[in-house]
A and B are shown apart, each in its own frame.
Chain A
Amino acid sequence: MKNEFKVIADLIEKDKRVLDVGCADGTLMKFLKDNKNINIRGLEISKDKVQKCIAKGLTVIEGNAEKDLSQFPDKSFDYVVLSQTLQAFLNPELVINELLRVGNKAIVTIPNFGYWKIRLHLLTKGTMPITKTLPDEWYNTPNLHMCTIKDFVHFVKSRNFRIFKSLALNNEDVSLINNSNLGIKNLFADLGIFLIEK
């Protein structure tokens, strides 16, 4: 399991109710269910991936986060997880609002467009950056709203959401993000992980 999922799992206490939005093949769900006795649900848009979750015995609903989160009552989960998907929505702000309505807390991870390799790529090559976390060309990428760690922190603050924890991931390294190191983390982390609440 990738490091990002280990970090997410560490943020969630045992026996909680969790919704994994864009749960893909259910890797994180399965881990949380087996290791933390989490009552876990998934929402996934791809039929193939829904089938993979079913084959793992996971409870998953085929659906689109931008439309289908509305069916869940307010605060019906302790945590709602959104891993590296926010940038792919037509309206990320709406999705964030929905995550924070449905869950007591939300865990959101974003690929950091401020990562130095991305900046260097754009600076030296002058073309849209392609990296391990962002492998697609500009014309076929599902990512519509890329942002940096700094952008996300600014957005969350501007909406008066509380940030409980901000973590920077660079391969295997996990570190805390705070006000004083935000600029540095925004340069050296390829992924940001945020635990937030409305």
Chain B
Amino acid sequence: MNTEINLKTLIVKKPLKLDCGKIINNFPIAYETYGSLNEKKDNAILVFHALTGDQFVTGLNPITNKDGWWSYAVGPDKAIDTNKYFVICSNVIGGCMGSFGPSHKDPDTQKILGTNFPVITINDMVNAQNNLLDHFGIEKLFSVVGGSMGGMQVLQFISNFPGKAKTVIPIACTSSHSAQNIAFNELGRQAITADNNWNKGDYNTKDSVPNKGLAVARMAAHITYLSKKSLQEKFGRKLQEREDIKFSFDADFQIESYLRYQGSVFVDRFDANSYLYITRAMDYFDLGKQFKGNLSDAFKETEAKFFIISFTSDWLYPTQENKDIVIALNGIGADVGFVEIASDKGHDSFLLDVPDFLSALKNFLDKSYTEN
């Protein structure tokens, strides 16, 4: 991680009471914006990022020197058109791209917080990000959008602030983390904590970070973002720069080499403790439970227009879990549209060039905006 680059940061002075009971204040939220806020301040879209995302939605990410994570969807003339809309995205608290997280130092001891960082929730993330609205003087967002964990934040945001968004777009997500979701996250956490360099979260120097554990966590998670079909078509049993199998444990197969690569590039940009904290926040997410088991009640105060999108090959947050949100909304007569996009690209579909998805997103936003 290179935090030398100047990140846009809002210091939140107002105390924030976290779900765990702790209170934080004077904490940073790192954010980025695209496009410009109009005079009426009615064209702002708050984008929420997924587990390993950050505030650099589109254009060049100055830290990784790669395209922003949602470059297919966000930018001039794209589905979320930055010629029209003012896009705000911030790094979640618990993250490692400038917002308050476990890699920050304790102001008293000057030691890195590590596991002394409080356990945070999706609710805490959303409450922290709400401060950006005050910062920009925005009373009502035109839209809140996000996929995966971003979608969970979308749902929590509109539940917490029912009057603060005109349209609501949760994509490829769930209202409650399933046992399978928790299981995969636990696998990742175990990989990290089994790495001796993790040292109970107390790793400080550059050469003793738990990169091996974090890389394994990423490799396992990465498989869950793809579909069996897409893996088979892309890699099949193809061998990696060799004529035949080597009777060894090297990366004989291309898929092995690909996963190793994914793991190795991930550790350069992500903090292992952040991975623990954010996956925990996802596991704790159960919006219905916050309303005594009645998910509909989470949305009964809002008049926002919902558009829910799932993907056929997403087995991490399958269509039925997205539909459960639609059902809860229909139960209270909310304005809700839903489409399942046909795609072989698995959960990652929302990040990729999937034309049916991008056109549905664009049409929904642009049509809703002209109804202003």
Point out residues on A near B: beta carbons under 8 Å.
17, 47, 50-51, 54-63, 71-73, 76
Contact = CB atoms under 8 A, between A and B. Distances in A.
B331 interface: yes
B340 A71 contact: no
Interface string B336-372: 1111111000000000000010011001100110110
A47 B356 contact: yes
Contacts of A55: 359, 363, 367
A41 B316 CA distance: 29
21 contacts: A50-B339, A51-B359, A54-B360, A55-B363, A57-B368, A57-B370, A57-B371, A59-B305, A59-B336, A60-B337, A60-B338, A60-B339, A61-B330, A61-B336, A61-B337, A62-B338, A63-B338, A71-B326, A71-B327, A76-B330, A76-B333
Contacts of A59: 305, 335-337
A63 B336 CA distance: 13
A152 B235 CA distance: 56
B290 to A, nearest CB: 21
> Residue among B331, B336, B339 with the most chain A CB within 10 A?
B339
Interface in B78-129: none
Interface of B: 305, 307, 326-327, 330-331, 333, 335-342, 356, 359-360, 363-364, 367-368, 370-371
Given A59-B335, A59-B336, A61-B336, A54 B363 contact: yes
A62 B333 contact: no
A71 B360 contact: no
Given A55-B367, A60-B339, A62-B340, 11 more contacts: A47-B356, A51-B339, A54-B337, A54-B364, A55-B359, A57-B370, A59-B305, A59-B337, A60-B337, A73-B330, A73-B331
A172 B313 CA distance: 46
Given A54-B360, A54-B364, A57-B371, A71 B339 contact: no
A1 B291 CA distance: 45
Among A17, A56, A60, A71, chain B packs the most CB atoms within 10 A around the CB of A71
A12 B58 CA distance: 47
Contacts of A58: 337
A54 B339 contact: yes
Contacts of B307: 54
Contacts of A54: 307, 337, 339, 360, 363-364, 367
Contacts of B331: 71, 73
Question: Which of B305, B333, B368 has most chain A Cβ within 10 Å?
Answer: B333
B360 to A, nearest CB: 5
A72 B305 CA distance: 17
A76 to B, nearest CB: 6
Contact of A51 (B336, B356, B370): B356
Nearest to A53: B337
Nearest to B328: A71
Contact of A72 (B330, B338, B340, B342): B330
Contacts of B359: 51, 55
Nearest to A77: B333
B365 to A, nearest CB: 10
A160 to B, nearest CB: 28
B169 to A, nearest CB: 12
Contacts of B338: 60-63
Given A54-B364, A57-B371, A47 B330 contact: no
B242 to A, nearest CB: 42
Contacts of A60: 337-339
A126 to B, nearest CB: 42
Nearest to A57: B367
A51 B340 CA distance: 10
Contact of B340 (A17, A47, A73, A76): A47
A45 to B, nearest CB: 11
A58 B336 CA distance: 10
A59 B340 CA distance: 14
A54 B336 CA distance: 12
B229 to A, nearest CB: 18
Residue from the set A17, A51, A54 with the largest chain B CB neighbour count within 10 Å: A54
Q: Top 6 closest A-B pairs, CB basis? A: A57-B367, A71-B327, A55-B363, A61-B338, A59-B337, A71-B330
A153 to B, nearest CB: 32
Contacts of A72: 330
Contacts of A73: 330-331, 333
Contacts of B368: 57
B339 A56 contact: no
Contacts of B335: 59
Contacts of A61: 326, 330, 336-338
Contacts of B330: 61, 71-73, 76
Contacts of B367: 54-57
A56 B339 CA distance: 14
A93 to B, nearest CB: 23
A104 to B, nearest CB: 14
Contacts of B360: 51, 54
B340 to A, nearest CB: 6
Contacts of A56: 367
